[in-house]
Amino acid sequence: MSQSRLSVHKIREVLRLHAEDVSLSNRAIARACNIAPSTVGEYLRRAKDAGLAWPLPENLSEEELFDRIFAEIHEGPWSPGARRQLQRIPDWSFIHQELKRRGVTLKLLWQEDRQAYPDGYQYSQFCERYRRWAYALDVTMRIPHRGGEEVEVDYAGATIEIVNPATGEITRAYVFVAVLPASGYFYVEVQPECTLPHWIGGNVRALEFFGGVPRILIPDNLKTGVKRPEFYEPDINPTFQYFAEHYGLVVLPTRIHHPQDKAHAENTVQQVTRWILAPLRNRKFFSVAEANQAVNVLAKAVRNRPMKQLGKSRRELFVEIDQPALRPLPERPYAYTEIKLAKVHIDYHVEYDRHHYSVLYTLRGEQLEIRAGEHVIQLFFKRNLVATHVRSRLRGGFTTLPEHMPSQHRFVQEVLRSTRNGPSWVVERAGRIGPQTAAFVQAIFAARKYPEQGIRSGLGVLSLGRKYPAERIERACSRMVSLNRLGCRHLKQYLEREDLSSPPILVSPQPMPPHANLRGPESFHAKGG
């Protein structure tokens, strides 16, 4: 109990015990109330000056009793009651709003009040009366919040029924709410699901609705946004974190089972349920868009309705407090991008949404970060972009870039493609060795009933091109065509015989250099007798 409330309680008890039906002495009253006899005398004197006696008027509140007993007594012709009536009471609602501005304190507001009204309250009474006034407000408004500092987001517990017009099937749509605590200005929308894309989409649209970005975002510990719900070091979902980095937001999730950590969101959910969802409970909606249209009409009315305690609407408070403090939105809105970690398989592909995307083969076995947008897949290794692919919706398929493959794999891929494209590819590759080789391969295809039957023979010719110089291949192919021996086996045999028939290359011995430890042939001739 505060000091002022304790004093009022003591005053009431002193007046009751001093009344005629009890009539205790001041010392007895002091012992009963555990106060000094001089304090009893002071209370009785002030009550007499204020014209108060027991029983007190039924409509006299504690605040009014306190003000009348402790009203300042100045010299002059005014009676104590008249002086109390003339005493100015500060505009507590204005002070409450000013406390939400950055850097504004209660002591600063008291100093400004005393400069304008020198006969106003002392600092201690100023603070005490403000706290008593604020105590009557809703619990979510007692702690001052800085304008543009925070946004609290949550899903409402109530849902909206959506009827499929074709089948009559009923599904539940979820209600997303975001609120700026300083002004109570809120955004609400209906979503078909509460999955990660819809959750982040709701946050993006809320910031667009507010027209700016606060510094802190306070969500619940829902699994779509928070992987590990630990208060001091929460593990934020990478996709949600990427969204926060785009807008420069700090994500501070609430504690588990502590809804008071986002009391404004809880209160706004209650208001949305009471003033928006409840009036729509008997309406049938056949699409989420239709439900959103009806919700927006009622939400606008609630935002523009004056609040009883503050005398201003949420919209007016938003314009005064939050809007000037919000940071500007980025140049481009956030495009939903899902972030996942994946290990590169042995075939230098990573899997996302049951489709496989290639990276450079040297990265096999490494951990990559996948950033999947609506149309593009980006792969990062140690925060460096290593691959970009067009997103594919084909389940079980592969998207492979040739530059990611090792050279032998690229050759095999080209070979496999050649079997689908016909002999033209083999002839084109043979032409890289020389025109005689291309003519020989063409002759192989022409000699077959079906050209596809000569593909393997043509591939054999290409493989010989990696073993022998192009000049020899050209000369051998020209010879095979003239002999009409059209086959890879004949060409191979000719090249091997040419190797055997070639005379060996003899290397003449080089004379040994002179040396003191070496002897010539003359040293071994027999000496004459």
Burial zone of 243 (CB within 10 Å; 0-12 exposed, 13-18 middle, 19+ buried): buried
d(Cα 216, Cα 210) in Å, to the nearest integer? 14
| Domain extent listing, the chain | 1-87, 150-325, 338-404, 409-499
Query: Which contiguous run of DSSP H or E holds residue 463?
Result: helix 455-465
The answer to whether 178 touches 203, Cβ cutoff 8 Å, is yes
Query: Two tokens at 172?
Result: 């539940």
Q: What is the rounded CA–CA span in Å between residue 126 and residue 43?
A: 21
Helix (H) or strand (E) holding 6: helix 3-18
Rounded-to-integer distance, Cα 39 and Cα 239, Å: 66
Number of residues that make up the chain:
529
The sheet carrying 398-399 orders its strands as: 349-352, 355-358, 398-399
Please count the CA atoms within 13 angstroms of the CA of 22 that sit on its side-chain side.
Answer: 15
Classify residue 277 by its DSSP letter: I
pLDDT attached to residue 487: 83
Q: Are strands 216-218 and 150-155 parallel, antiparallel or unpaired?
A: parallel
- Determine the 3-state secondary structure of 182 from DSSP: coil
Per-residue pLDDT at 322: 92
Residues 184, 269: contact at Cβ < 8 Å? no
Residues 463 and 455: their CA atoms lie apart, in Å, by: 12
The answer to whether 243 and 201 are in contact (CB under 8 A) is no
Buried b (16+ CB within 10 A) or exposed e, 169-186: eeeebbbbbbbbbbbbbb
Give pLDDT tens digits along the chain (529 positions).
444 455 677 788 888 888 866 677 888 788 777 788 888 888 888 888 888 888 888 777 777 787 787 764 433 343 444 444 345 678 888 888 888 776 678 888 888 888 888 878 889 888 888 887 777 664 444 456 788 889 999 998 889 999 998 888 999 999 999 999 988 999 999 999 888 888 899 999 999 999 999 988 988 765 554 544 444 344 567 888 888 888 988 888 877 766 666 778 888 898 898 889 988 888 999 999 999 999 999 999 999 999 877 788 999 999 999 999 999 999 888 888 888 889 999 888 999 988 999 999 899 899 999 988 878 899 999 888 999 999 888 888 889 888 888 877 776 666 656 555 557 778 888 888 899 999 998 888 888 766 666 777 888 888 888 888 988 889 889 988 888 888 888 888 888 887 665 554 444 455 656 656 556 556 555 555 4
Q: Answer for the pair 340, 352: CB distance below 8 angstroms, yes or no.
A: yes
Identify the pLDDT of residue 513: 62
pTM of the model: 0.51
The tens digit of pLDDT for each residue in 249-288 reads 888 887 776 666 677 888 889 889 888 998 888 899 999 9
Please say whether the structural domain 150-325 has been given the CATH code 3.30.420.10.
Answer: yes
Name which of 51, 11, 52 is nearest 29 in CA terms.
Answer: 11
Instruction: Give the pLDDT score at 366.
Output: 92
The pLDDT value recorded for residue 67 is 78
